[in-house]
Amino acid sequence: MDKVMSNKTVIALFVWPSLLLLVVLIYMPIVLTGYYGLMDWDGVGGMAFIGLANYKELLRDGLFWNSVKHSFLLAVFSTVSLLVYLLVALVLSARIRGANVFRKIYLIPMLLSSVAIAQLWLKIFHPTNGILNDALARLGVQDTPEWLSNPSIVLYAIFIPILWQYAGFYILIYYAALKNVPADLIEAARIDGAGPWRVAVSIRIPLIAEVIKVTVVLAIVGSLKYFDLIYVMTGGGPNGASEVMASYMYRKAFREYDFGYASAVGFCLLLICLIMTWLIRKATAAKDNVQYS
Amino acid sequence: MNGETILTQRAKPGVRRNKLPERMGYGLLYAVLTAVAVLQVLPLLWLLLFSLKNSQEVFQLAPFALPEKLRWENYEKVWTQGQISRYFMNSVWITAVAVAVTVALASLVTFAVTRMRWKLRSFTLGLFMVGLMIPVHSTLIPLFSLFTKLQLINHPLSLILSYIAFNLPITIMIMLGFYYSLPREVEEAAVMDGCSVYRLFASITLPMTSSVVTTAVIINMIYNWNEFIFVNTFISSDKYKTLTVGVQNFVGQYTTDWGAIGATLMISILPILLAFILLSNRIVEGIAAGSVKG
């Protein structure tokens, strides 16, 4: 048995093709992004080594810091919205008939492409014909907002479809976790006279703390690399008001052909994502067994 | 799931509470859940409605009013006049090839990592799992220059290879738990009888994992079908564009024809909605199992 199951040729045949793809298409590019970040390069011509000049420029680049700020704002919004999702999941897990149907319906937006979602929401936000302003007008609001062309509200507006898209995903995760909380514990608390709120706050939520930590990591890191929806809906505009790190990198590379500088931005994005993952894990690592569902 | 049902049933006859407040409480809970469900579905219902109207009806009728006559010709128009049918077919075959290869490769890796014995297996698994944390955008510029050198820009292979590489980690993760839970006895018996590893994998293990394979196929299908940034970066000729980017360009040409835009968007999301109606249990399971991808 051991001999057959530790056959080196077989292992190589099974693992190497995948490993090759992983190394060539993910790990090698990561290293190269770091390398290109040290170059002055337009993507077509030759490269010139300029050391840390791109990074020095980044430090002084207001547009870059703006995009970092917007990315982190999205991360904060997303984390706060987890509370709403948790609340819905708590309701959903209250021995409700049809809970399964509800959680499936919630999930639908997450399955659709960000492009389709972005195009649909462009119409929803449409100043005159969109359903949002139509509803506001019916409610008697006179100055209906220009959701996507007003720099001071565009980022909040863009967060609405994000909230909509990921609701089902987080509710699903919380619901699955809450279902795993032993019923005896809850029943015991009830017999002791605890109401539903008390049970939720003192028993059910603490017991799914690990899952909540994982979702916080997901929400923050997911927000930091957010791209598709913003690229399609506003392209980072108006005037950079909705630019995030990934969209700024894309603009620098494929609009302005500053590949070296864009690589530096891409490398910062990678570092920030890895550091945030590590920091959150570290800060919340009371127990080491992280569950993913 | 069965265990849960038993637990909740056992828990029911606990304390007797006042009936009326309890019913009102449940009514409130249902109201909350229904409100959320309506919010999730309403935009899509609106999309369906305006895809069946002409521009005049879109701008004059109330948003959720039905048109006098359902204008299916919007669908016919965008399907035949534009390139949508070509983008659609590109999405279909590129997704199919990438999904098939990804799931096959992931099955081999997961088998080697969980069932076979070798020194570097946990390190190898670690390499794949770290891949989950890497933002696609940070690899985009080097991939673009790599594919340019290999003359794969504007070639579907650049998409297929990227989809396989970037979906391998999540696919392996979905399969991992299932493989760990397979009993060793069956394999041991087969090996005793002189079965080779290849046959063991192909005719014993693989059939046993068919349910997790289905889940992995569906999740991969959804990711690849919806993928945008690679197509947008690597493909510029209409010949190989997939639906996400095709739709994006197409909508640009029809800025005021909402009916046509609606029909285009509906065509692009229909396969996923159909898969969802047929296979929602597997999709829910797969998303929960692969939830790291966010």
Q: Encode chain A in three state secondary structure.
A: CHHHHCCHHHHHHHHHHHHHHHHHHHHHHHHHHHHHCCEECCCCCCCEECCCHHHHHHHHCHHHHHHHHHHHHHHHHHHHHHHHHHHHHHHHCCCCCCHHHHHHHHHHHHHCCHHHHHHHHHHHCCCCCCHHHHHHHHCCCCCCCCCCCCCCCHHHHHHHHHHHHHHHHHHHHHHHHHHCCCHHHHHHHHHCCCCHHHHHHHHHHHHCHHHHHHHHHHHHHHHHCCCHHHHHHCCCCCCCCCCCHHHHHHHHHHCCCCHHHHHHHHHHHHHHHHHHHHHHHHHHCCCCCCCCC
Element containing residue B136 per DSSP (H, E): none
Q: How many CB atoms lie within 10 A of CB A228?
A: 21
pLDDT value of residue A1: 62
ipTM of the complex: 0.89
Confidence check: pLDDT of B11 > 90: no
Q: Which chain A residue's Cα is nearest to B265? A: A116
Question: What proportion of chain B, given as a percentage, has pLDDT over 70?
Answer: 92
pLDDT value of residue B113: 95
CA A208 to chain centre: 21
A-B CB pairs within 8 A amount to 293
A76 inside 8 A of chain B by CB: no
- pLDDT confidence tier of residue B18, bands split at 50, 70 and 90: low
Q: Which domains does chain A have, with CATH numbers?
A: 62-287 (1.10.3720.10)
pLDDT value of residue A291: 46
B132 inside 8 A of chain A by CB: no
If one compares A272 and B5, the residue with the highest pLDDT of the two is: A272
What are the pLDDT digits (tens) for B272-281? 999 898 988 8
pLDDT value of residue B60: 82
Mean pLDDT of B52-70: 83
- pLDDT confidence tier of residue B209, bands split at 50, 70 and 90: very high
pLDDT value of residue A50: 92
Mean pLDDT of B94-123: 95
Query: Nearest 5°: phi and psi at A192?
Result: -75, 0
Which of residues 32 through 61 in chain B touch A, CB cutoff 8 A? 32-33, 36-37, 39-44, 46-47, 50, 58-59
What are the pLDDT digits (tens) for A49-72? 998 999 999 999 999 999 999 999
Q: Which residue in A18, A115, A134 is closest to B105 by CB distance?
A: A18
Calculate how close chain B gets to A191, using CA atoms only, in Å. Answer: 7
In sequence order, what are the beta bridge partners of A49?
A39
**Average pLDDT for chain A:** 90
Task: Give me A133's structure tokens.
Answer: 């302003």
A115 and B248: CB-CB below 8 Å? yes
If one compares A287 and B254, the residue with the highest pLDDT of the two is: B254
Residue given tokens 């008001």 in the structure block: A241
What are the pLDDT digits (tens) for B216-236? 999 999 999 999 999 999 999
B interface test, pick of A1, A3, A6, A14 with most B CB neighbours within 10 Å: A14
Q: How many residues does chain B have?
A: 294
Omega within 30 of 0 (cis) for the link into B183: no
pLDDT value of residue B74: 87
Rounded Cα distance between A211 and A288, Å, is 12
Confidence check: pLDDT of B8 > 50: no
Calculate how close chain A gets to B25, using CA atoms only, in Å. Answer: 11
All residue ranges of chain A with pLDDT < 70 are 1, 285-293
Query: Nearest 5°: phi and psi at A48?
Result: -125, 130
Q: How many CB atoms lie within 10 A of CB B188?
A: 13
In sequence order, what are the beta bridge partners of A48?
A40
Of the candidates B126, B119, B290, the residue with the CA atom closest to the CA atom of residue A173: B290
What are the pLDDT digits (tens) for A199-246? 888 889 999 998 898 899 889 999 999 999 999 999 888 989 999 999
Q: Do the beta carbons of residue A246 and residue B158 sit within 8 Å?
A: no
